[in-house]
């Protein structure tokens, strides 16, 4: 299959996290035909495909995922989100940019590279997760990464195919990410009749000043590599549905995206200090989704920038914004981790898409990265 045919085949599979739903069944024969040794590892409710080529030299790993977020209202899409329709030179569908087209582009790049260099002087791995977008309790690739490290199977270079680009494919590289700390707050008041304010404690009224203060806090100033820590509320829920009943509790979901200038411990402490100003009791469940990471070594960066100068005639800028990625699991083992993928303007949106020209360009960039890696190891 061509990169386009493979991308369409993958998009047509409704692989909502944490379920692969058959994407690996499509990908595995493609890699087997190239001589890769493929294994699939089950972890709780998720699965990871790990394919290896060669056994000598440094390990170059392409890291990606086959799962996608839900489509949202299907009627709002210009075409069905799992049809993979081409309209005006653009491939539309959930996962088109994040990140099934990227997976297809790298496999096509592998085919082109191995035709001209059937015995590379470095090892090539392809690692694909089925639960990058989903919840940790369904299983993540961190267990596999630790297992490989225990066997001294370490990744040297990790290219993550996330949608890093802004306006042109390859204009932005990410060499790190901020950390992510989530919280589930239950603010406990006292339920009662609205006509007797002295007998109730309204958590909705109590949360107002808390939110106002949280909005104004400067958590840190960031540093030369990272933006300042930010705080956002994603869900707020309270009430019985009746107009004459003060609710007894309020639930709030929130998230910190934090730079290395703050720790998850310090953010928890400062949050609770603000919370204690309320009259309400509270319960909090914290989830540390990711700690900040940064690739300071420049070997892989130089390889990728060289490839971009050849294909795009200019280097990329470095940006460590955006959400989390599975690169956070690979970085602690000492790997150089860099993200390079499609334009991210439509990821997780209605009518997510990638242009056919961008798919072709990304394939060329990935191929050139492999060529530059070969030259660097000679």
- 56 — phi, psi (to 5°)? -130, 145
Long-range contacts of residues 78-87, Cβ cutoff 8 Å, at least 24 apart? 78/351, 81/352, 82/11, 82/12, 82/13, 82/14, 83/12, 84/7, 84/8, 84/9, 84/11, 84/12, 86/356
Segments forming the whole domain that contains residue 195: 179-290
**Active-site residue identified among 30, 43, 47, 67:** 67
Domain with 197 in it: what CATH number?
3.30.70.360
Task: Give yes or no for a contact between 340 and 83, defined as CB atoms under 8 angstroms apart.
Answer: no
Whether 120 and 236 share a structural domain? no
Overall average pLDDT of the 167-172 stretch: 97
| Single residue among 263, 290, 317 that ends a domain in this structure | 290
The domain boundary residue, chosen from 272, 290, 308: 290
Does one domain contain both 83 and 151? yes
Same domain, 298 and 158: yes
> For residue range 325-376, what is the model confidence (pLDDT) as tens digits?
899 999 988 999 999 999 999 999 999 999 999 999 999 999 999 999 999 9
Listed residues 248, 267, 290: the one ending a domain: 290
Please tell me the total count of domains within the chain: 2
pLDDT at residue 323 is higher than 80: no
* pLDDT tens readout for residues 236-247: 999 999 999 999
Q: What is the CATH number of the domain that holds 151?
A: 3.40.630.10
Provide the pLDDT for residue 378: 80
My answer on whether 52 and 183 are in the same domain is no
Q: Are 162 and 325 in contact (CB under 8 A)?
A: yes
**Residue 251 sits in the same domain as residue 104:** no
Are 45 and 101 in the same domain?
yes
Q: Residue 273: what are its φ and ψ, rounded to 5°?
A: -60, -40
Give me the pLDDT at residue 136, please: 83
pLDDT tens figures, 13-42: 999 999 999 999 999 999 999 999 999 999
How does residue 224 score in pLDDT terms, banded at 50, 70 and 90? Answer: confident
Same domain, 266 and 312: no
Residues 341 and 360 in one domain: yes
Q: Is 153 among the catalytic positions?
A: no
Q: Is the CB of residue 296 less than 8 Å from the CB of residue 176?
A: no
The residues facing 245 across adjacent strands are 193
Whether 248 and 265 map to the same domain: the answer is: yes
pLDDT above 80 (res 298): yes
* 39 classed as catalytic: no
Per-residue pLDDT band at 95 (split at 50, 70, 90): very high
- In the numeric block, the tokens 């001589």 are attached to 35
Going by pLDDT thresholds of 50, 70 and 90, the confidence category of residue 137 is confident
Q: Of the residues 132, 156, 336, 339, which is catalytic?
A: 132
Mean pLDDT score, 205-221: 97
**What whole-number percentage of the chain has pLDDT above 70?**
100
256 & 311 share domain: no
The per-residue pLDDT for 135 is: 84
Residue with tokens 């086959």: 66
Residues 152 and 14 in one domain: yes
Whether residue 229 is found in the same domain as residue 201: yes
> How much is the average pLDDT of 287-293?
90
């Amino acid at each position: 299959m061509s990169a386009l045919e493979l991308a369409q085949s993958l998009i047509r599979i409704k692989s909502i996290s944490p379920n692969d739903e058959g994407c690996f069944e499509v990908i595995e024969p493609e890699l087997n035909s190239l001589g890769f040794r493929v294994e699939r590892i089950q972890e709780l409710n998720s699965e990871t495909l790990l394919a290896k080529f060669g056994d000598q030299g440094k390990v170059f790993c392409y890291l990606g995922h086959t799962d996608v977020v839900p489509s949202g209202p299907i009627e709002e899409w210009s075409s069905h989100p799992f049809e993979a329709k081409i309209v005006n030179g653009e491939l539309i569908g959930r996962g088109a940019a994040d990140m099934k087209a990227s997976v297809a582009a790298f496999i096509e790049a592998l085919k082109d590279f191995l035709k001209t260099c059937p015995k590379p002087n470095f090892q090539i791995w392809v690692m694909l997760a089925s639960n990058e977008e989903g919840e940790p309790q369904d299983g993540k690739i961190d267990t596999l990464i630790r297992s490989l490290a225990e066997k001294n199977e370490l990744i040297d270079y990790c290219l993550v195919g996330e949608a890093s680009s802004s306006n042109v494919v390859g204009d932005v590289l990410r060499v790190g990410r901020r950390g992510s700390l989530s919280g589930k707050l239950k603010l406990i008041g006292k339920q009662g009749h609205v006509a007797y304010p002295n007998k109730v404690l309204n958590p909705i009224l109590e949360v107002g000043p808390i939110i106002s203060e949280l909005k104004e806090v400067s958590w840190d100033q960031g540093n030369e590599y990272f933006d300042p820590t930010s705080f956002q509320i994603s869900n707020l829920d309270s009430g019985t549905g009746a107009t004459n009943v003060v609710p007894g509790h309020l639930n709030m979901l929130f998230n910190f995206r934090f730079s290395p200038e703050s720790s998850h411990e310090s953010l928890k402490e400062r949050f609770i200090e603000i919370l204690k100003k309320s009259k309400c009791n509270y319960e909090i469940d914290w989830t540390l989704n990711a700690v900040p990471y940064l690739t300071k070594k420049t070997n892989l960066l130089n390889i990728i920038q060289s490839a971009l100068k050849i294909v795009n005639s200019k280097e990329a800028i470095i940006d460590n914004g955006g959400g989390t990625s599975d690169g956070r699991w690979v970085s602690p083992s000492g790997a150089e981790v860099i993200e390079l993928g499609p334009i991210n303007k439509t990821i997780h949106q209605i009518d997510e898409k990638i242009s056919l020209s961008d798919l072709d360009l990304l394939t060329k960039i990935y191929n050139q990265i492999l060529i530059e890696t070969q030259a660097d190891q000679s």
